Amino acid sequence: MAIHSRHLLAIEGLHPPQIAAMLDLAESYVLLSRTGTTPRDRLRGRTLINLFFEDSTRTRTSFELAGKRLGADVINMPVATSSVNKGETLLDTASTLNAMNCDLLVIRHASSGAPALLARKVDAAVINAGDGTHEHPTQALLDALTIRRRLGGLQGLVVAICGDILHSRVARSNIHLLSAMGSRVRVVGPPTLIPPEAERLGIEVFHDMKAGLAGADVVMALRLQQERMTGGLVPSTREYFRFFGLDAEKLAYAKPQALVMHPGPMNRGVEIASRVADDPDRSVIREQVEMGVAVRMAVLDMLAHAGIPGGPRP
């Protein structure tokens, strides 16, 4: 019997058929969303709680929309004004949520591992919407869906992930997903922003945009996460842009039709030039947002029913 995962805590550890199953279901939800014909009874009677301990606009809204398009009751817990700020521990919050019989719990937290901790304490299916610098699995799924729809697949593609890899849970989830699906992943950035474990993950490391982008099919720019930086990891944002900002000149090293991606929110003129971000021929940044809703619909649907199918046979 195949194993069905009950939570979505990370991409690491998922098997290619599980990733493919989520992308396939998401694909069908893209079309149904565009025609306004999503099945509103799919999650009827189910409760989804959004528990965001870190700021978020697009991810929280995306989960909310995804739940509503399938008919779930969606509640956004106002964490900033809740009893969490009165000193309640994460585990006390978990037992409160348990008593409310919620079915799906979406959590974003500044500490890596917080969603996994909650998953052990609640009956609900837990979805990690970003934990510290660890993982952001639905972001990697939406990126993969965007690439797959544009380029026809993931196998054999050269994907260059550029910038602040060190602080990026998006990069980590993408590295695991793309490697599992047969892409060749490169990370490109200054040595201070590349995590020491990069080489161990089996990816290529570049400190120069020209070499790192050469022949790439996909170029993914990441936000410079200054709020997570303690020391002076970059000299100045101007200097950073000069060497690592994705502008037309540096993009020219990649394949002529290479896709430009960014998970948002963007720092224009820091890690990406507006001209590139807004170039309708190259940038798929808006499409990523659309794919985000479809991917989250697929994840919510699977976890509310049998779980994520396609795990290894024991």
Binding site for ligand NCD (CB under 6 A): 58-59, 130, 136, 139, 169-170, 223, 225, 263-264
C-beta closer to ligand NCD: residue 168 or 183? 168
Residue where the block lists tokens 């969603």: 115
- Closest separation between CB of residue 313 and ligand NCD, Å? 34
Smallest separation (angstroms) from ligand NCD to the CB of 196: 20
Phi–psi pair at 267, nearest 5 degrees: -100, 95
CB of 26 to ligand NCD, least distance (A): 16
Q: What is the DSSP letter of 108?
A: E
Query: What gap in Å lies between CA 277 and CA 285, rounded to an integer?
Result: 7
To the nearest whole angstrom, how small is the minimum distance from the Cβ of residue 279 to ligand NCD?
Answer: 20
Say what the alpha-carbon torsion angle 269, 157, 254, 237 is, to the nearest 10 degrees.
20
User: Smallest distance from the beta carbon of 311 to ligand NCD, in angstroms?
Assistant: 26
CA distance 116 to 104: 14
Q: Nearer Cβ to ligand NCD, position 46 or 169?
A: 169
111 Cβ contact partners less than 8 Å away, ≥ 6 residues apart: 131, 132
Q: Select 46 or 138, whichever has its Cβ closest to ligand NCD.
A: 138
> Please, which residue, 57 or 155, has the CB nearer to ligand NCD?
57
Q: Give the orientation angle of helix 58-69 with respect to helix 285-304, to 10 degrees.
A: 50
CA distance 84 to 194: 33
Structure tokens at 132: 């510290």
Cβ 87 to ligand NCD, closest distance in Å? 26
Query: Given the complex with ligand NCD, which of 126 and 253 has the nearer CB atom?
Result: 126
Nearer to ligand NCD, 186 or 223 (CB): 223
Q: What are phi and psi of 116, to 5 degrees?
A: -65, -40
